[in-house]
Amino acid sequence: MFQSLNPKRKRSNRTGRTMPNTQSETRFTQQVSDQLKAIVGSEFVCTSSEDLDRYSRCTIPWQKRCAAVVFPGSGEEVSRVIKLAGEHGLTIWPFSTGKNWGYGASLATEDGAIVLILERMNRVLEVNEELAYVVIEPGVSYQQLNAYLRETGSRLWADCTDGPPEGSVIGNALERGIGETPYGDHFGNLCGLEVVLPTGELVQIGTSSKSQRTWHTHKWGLGPYIEGLFSQSNLGVVTQAGLWLMPEPEEYNSYVFEIRNEADVPAVMDAYRKLALLGVAVSKLHMINDFVTITVLTQRLHEDVPSKGRLSAADLDGLRHKYRISPWSCGGGLYGTREQVKVQRKLLRRELGPYGRLIFLTDGRLSLLDKLVRLVKKNDWMLPFLHGLGKTSLPVLELAPHAHRILKGIPTEYFVRHAYYRHGASRPDSDVDPAADRCGLIWFAPILPVIGAEIVRYLADSRKTFEEYDFDFYVAMLMMNPRSVVCLMAIIYDKESPDEVERAKGLYARLVQDMQAVNLQQYRAGLAGWDSVYRGAPELKSLNGRIKKALDPKGVIAPGRYDVGSAMPASGVEPTDPPGL
């Protein structure tokens, strides 16, 4: 049995049941298993019930069971596995590290698929200090890349997300994920791909020759631009990529902005749009509501609140008072020369100051804050003094260093704790794995124009929908660029409650329906949203299908992913149902 490169604490299989696997019984034969083992090595092919359960699990309430999990170690092995699958009429579902919790992790849309996990392909192939880029394989995680740069004395920063540190850098970029720094447009900073096509061919994308000196510096290449075909798609498996990095700035500050009055949220969003268009707000702004902060600071089981249903207004107000948090807060980073950061701070104060409290944090202040937190934790009598001095709570102070460091591209699993808010057991202090621990989490990620009044109206309607389904309203607004903002919503539910599972499914379907009714779309979608991606664009669906058929006539790679080359049943699936489930 394959052992992870990063051993984890043991977790029991809490389901107590084994799921059926109809397709694998008919197509995945011992012969196929033996051939896969000959390609990648017997220790890198998993077919035991325990392993199949593990890799057929996510935080979402839709699930399919794979036939095997394969861990190739090179692009050549990926090519041979894909060719083999085509010969036997099997489908391959490739994932970089399988940590895409809340969207689908390493799930296929059908039973019996071969799941391809690329975490063994974790080499850093090149770091170019002068041109500020790196070339990596898909198994390289945020944690690994950050550590590699620090250990080798590099003066470059890698962006990261506030998700799992062991998430794949390339995998998130191909999903068009959003990070924290000015380099937070992850797909926008990919440049030069190596891809295995569904036929098994290995192709360099973005260059007329692999030896081209600008393969990883000139994103558009020459001729038709086709890197985008391999983002949010199923047209190939990316086996290496170039990634632009951020030169370490002379000066860096993080900041937190607490909005005094919820009625000012539209004005604050408009102010951020203005600052972003001027090039002042260059980090990927995060604006979060109070419930987001609460899910990071605590769990429902540790608070004096009802054990079922959503928080009442009084419950929410009580938790805000206990932890001394605002209804809305924002965070970001300032980067540049000392003079540039000084000007940015001045402009932020001018534009945001009228609406709340703005706090800046430097590396030096972070060191003092760490000392203060340790001192207060050793001396409980200091808590009242702390509350009066800083108008904050100890848990919030403990959170601040994590936010400061993540804006420098230093990953942390601290913020993944939100997935455990409704979980029935205390969350772990480390080795956070909400899928293995059977937490319930679904991400819904609509993207809107940055017009404050329109955003607030949409959020007000969404809040009512959450309340209708008896769930707490979680929203984090992530500015994708000066013109677009992602209103990232989380449906956090108890996976051990059949009632909550069904309500969570219903809420997701309703949110998708309401979003499309006002002509909006998600910036990325999880497994349950793929069947509705092209509901209003049949011509585009047809075009994508023709490209899929040309590149993958046998439907080998992830058929139906993002509704491209869909293999959905012709009947029995309602428009709001997840594909093939």
Mean pLDDT of the chain, nearest integer: 90
* Spatial distance between the Cα atoms of 385 and 372, rounded to a whole number of angstroms: 12
- Whether the CB-CB separation of 377 and 273 falls below 8 Å is answered with no
The whole domain housing 296 covers: 251-522
Q: Count the neighbouring beta carbons within 10 Å of the beta carbon of residue 303.
A: 17
Cβ pair 153, 146 in contact under 8 A:
no
Q: Is the pLDDT of residue 508 over 60?
A: yes
CATH of the domain at 316: 3.40.462.10
What's the DSSP call for residue 384? H
Among 217, 247, 277, identify where a domain stops. Answer: 247
Q: 68 and 155, same structural domain?
A: no
Which candidate, 78, 117, 407, places its Cα nearest to that of 255? Answer: 407
**Overall domain count for the chain:** 3
pLDDT for residue 189 is more than 70 = yes
Of 103, 166, 178, the C-alpha closest to 413 is 166
Let me know: does 201 contact 86? Beta carbons within 8 Å.
no
pLDDT recorded at residue 367: 87
- Cα–Cα distance, 219 to 322 (Å, whole number): 49
Spatial distance between the Cα atoms of 34 and 497, rounded to a whole number of angstroms: 40
Question: For residue 382, what pLDDT is reported?
Answer: 64
In a shared domain, residues 331 and 453: yes
Mean pLDDT of 298-309: 94
Are the C-beta atoms of 176 and 284 separated by less than 8 Å? no
Q: Which one of 190, 216, 247 terminates a domain?
A: 247
pLDDT, residue 389, reads 52
430 and 489 in a single domain? The answer is yes
Give me the CATH number covering residue 86. 3.30.43.10
Residue 131 has a pLDDT of 98
- Bridge partners (DSSP) of residue 8 are none
Output the pLDDT for position 386.
Answer: 59
14 found inside a domain: no
Would you say residue 567 has pLDDT above 60?
no
Of the candidate ranges 103-107, 296-300, 389-393, the one whose mean pLDDT is the lowest: 389-393
Tell me the pairing of strands 328-336 and 286-289.
antiparallel
| 215: in domain | yes
pLDDT at 377 (0 to 100): 74
pLDDT digits (tens, 9 = 90+) for 199-226: 999 999 998 777 789 999 999 988 999 9
Under 8 Å CB-to-CB from 87, ≥6 apart: which residues?
none
> pLDDT tens digits, residue range 170-180?
999 999 999 99
- pLDDT for the residue 387: 57
Return the structure tokens found at 34: 């033996």
Q: Is the pLDDT of residue 575 over 70?
A: no
pLDDT in tens, 17-50: 333 444 444 578 899 999 999 999 999 999 999 9
Here the tokens at position 298 are 């605590």
CA dist 477 and 450 (Å) reads 10
Helical (H) or strand (E) element with 269: helix 265-277
Q: Report the relative pairing of strands 114-117 and 92-95 from DSSP bridges.
A: parallel
pTM attached to this predicted model: 0.91
Residues 280 and 374 in one domain: yes
Residue 98 and residue 178 share a domain: no
User: 101 near 434, Cβ under 8 Å?
Assistant: yes
Encode 111-166 in three state secondary structure.
CCCEEEECCCCCCEEEEECCCCEEEECCCCEHHHHHHHHHHCCCCEECCCCCCCCC
Tokens of 465: 């929908």
Percent of the chain with pLDDT over 90: 81
Domain co-membership, 149 together with 95: no
Look up residue 311 and give its DSSP letter: P
The model's pLDDT over 240-260, given as tens digits with 9 standing for 90+, comes to: 999 999 999 999 999 999 998
Instruction: Mark whether 265 and 398 lie in a shared domain.
Output: yes
Q: Under a CB-based contact definition with an 8 Å cutoff, are residues 373 and 348 in contact?
A: no
